[in-house]
Amino acid sequence: MNNMNNYEQTLKFPSAEDIELLHQRSRKEFEDSICHNREAPAKFLKAWLQGVKVIGWEFFQYNSPLNNSSAPPVKSIEDVTNKWQVCPNSEYIIGNIGVIPNYHAILLASMCSFYNSNWGGELMRSVGINGLADISARLDTHDSKIIAELLINYNGW
């Protein structure tokens, strides 16, 4: 009987106030998540285009892939409204990633991992990146912020 009393004494049921606070916190987190998911595609695209400008236009294709006809073809980066309109140019990247400065290669490979994780992962390993710590240690603050924004706002490709 003594053991049962000890158990009952340590077991504390939440008060009505605790339940209300938990409900409010859950609701706020849910609302924040909805807001984030609404804004994420535009923020991702903005960061993506910053990366494109740093690395160079030639590493990307300005068109609409066949698997996403909702994105009209574009002639310049200023016309881009959708990530599908500015995808990595895999053939050009594979042939040229070894001749660009290493910090650009790291940024490019990291960006490609958002487009295709398997291929991007191979590119990352080919430039000496094995994980996030390597990216952080080898990119400057500006380029690290690009990757951070892509990571935070990634909603699939």
The pLDDT tens digits for 99-145 are: 999 999 999 999 999 999 999 999 999 999 999 999 999 999 999 99
Round to whole Å and give the CA distance between 48 and 87.
Answer: 10
Report field, pTM of the whole predicted structure over 0.85:
no
Q: Which of 97, 145, 157, 95 has its CA nearest to residue 125?
A: 97
**More confident: 51 or 30:** 51
Round to whole Å and give the CA distance between 87 and 74.
Answer: 12
Beta-carbon contacts of 22 under 8 Å, excluding residues fewer than 6 positions away, are 14
- Each residue's pLDDT tens digit, 42-77: 999 999 999 999 999 899 987 755 555 566 777 778
Per the CB < 8 A criterion, the answer to whether 155 and 148 are in contact is no
The two three-digit tokens of residue 62, written as one number: 């300005």
